[in-house]
Amino acid sequence: MSYRPSTRRPLQLLACAAVVLSFVLSSGAVLASGSKQSSSAKRPVAAKVPDRKVHKQAVQPQRKKAAVAQAPANRTVKARKQHIQRTSAPRRLSVAQQMGLRAMDDPLDLNSSVALVVDQNTGEVLFSKNDSAVLPIASLTKLMTGLVVAEADLPMDEMITITRDDVDTYKGTTSRLAIGARLSRGELMHLSLMSSENRAAHALGRTFPGGMERFVQLMNLKARELGMTDTHYVEPTGLHSRNRSSARDLATLVNVAYEHPILRDLSTSLSHEVHVGRRTLTFNNSNRLVRSSDWDIGLQKTGFISEAGRCLVMQANVAGRQLIMVFLDAAGSISRAQDAERVRRWVEAQYGTLQEEVRPQG
């Protein structure tokens, strides 16, 4: 029997070789892929930075939504009032705030910590809120300054020079009256009462016979004479917080000051021009109510320092009655005027009809 080689074995070998070759090729591809992924992993991919404008626009609505979510759904009147006081109050707490007076409620929901409304003819108190509290009075001081000058019967045409001594060293406030400016005593009175000009008021005290010390002494003597036992002055401008009084004392001062025509006229004029060297300066009234047709104001004075808040005293005719109004420590720049408006409307509603009924028939 002759030997014949089998044809199956070469076929089997060929198949095995194909399998091995396929395995080698696939392993190489895997290794190459792994190497590529490894190298790409080592290189950090820069993150896409969002456009600043787009990012800001996206963040702001989120913040607004968060603020709205934190705000109470239904604020009470008292809560709204406290919110306004927090946002509009001076950075330094006023003396009245420190005493807790501003947080006290009243029937008219006034912003002022202290208020007093008195019938000038009868002395009847129509409205009162913390009227005995002794507080800084800021530039309401200038009303007593004007009263002392007016009663001294000094020449109003006498020229007075503004000096370095008249510069504010208490609060560092500025003035349009430069050192060296020359004005008459009457003009200084006018600017002091109408525009609350501090250098003008200081110059009135500095040039008074006997000097500043004598002038302040007379201010306090006049207060004692009028029975203003809650009142004390240390200088004539009101910039110092030690100038203090109560609403009751200030009502007395307004009543007496109203007797002097010069104080009525100068405090209620709308504006006044003064000539300083080659310049003409226009000063306006610091009380916005004097320009309102709704008001008939006979005398007024405003005031503000951080310790006193916004202050206002007035004599005004309302609903046929001559009234004296005092507002101390209002929070915002227009709050004292708003309180006066609220009181006026209240008086007109309470007493307007009565006054019309008792008015004599012609």
Mean pLDDT of the chain: 84
Tell me the per-residue pLDDT of 134-145, one tens digit each, with 9 for 90 and over: 999 999 999 999
Strand partners, 159: 184
Q: Region 199-223: what's the mean pLDDT?
A: 99
- Residue 21: which pLDDT band, with cuts at 50, 70 and 90? low
pLDDT of residue 154: 98
Catalytic position from the list 113, 195, 196, 245: 196
292 is catalytic: no
Question: Which tokens in the block code for residue 117?
Answer: 């409304």
Interhelix angle 185-194/261-268, nearest 10 degrees? 60
Tell me the per-residue pLDDT of 56-108, one tens digit each, with 9 for 90 and over: 454 455 554 444 444 444 445 455 555 555 555 446 899 999 999 998 999 99
Distances (CA, A) of 277 to 183, 281, 294: 10, 10, 38
139 is catalytic: yes
Tell me the per-residue pLDDT of 221-264, one tens digit each, with 9 for 90 and over: 999 999 999 999 999 999 999 999 999 999 999 999 999 999 99
Strand partners, 118: 125, 324
Q: What is the SS3 assignment for 264-278?
A: HHHHHCCEEEEEECC
pLDDT of residue 351: 85
pLDDT of residue 54: 46
Tell me the per-residue pLDDT of 107-139, one tens digit each, with 9 for 90 and over: 999 999 999 999 999 999 999 999 999 999 999
pLDDT of residue 19: 53
Q: Which CATH class for the 86-358 domain?
A: alpha beta
267 is catalytic: no
pLDDT of residue 285: 98
Catalytic position from the list 94, 112, 113, 139: 139
Q: Region 290-312: what's the mean pLDDT?
A: 98
Catalytic position from the list 81, 142, 222, 301: 142
Cα–Cα distance, 343 to 107 (Å, whole number): 11
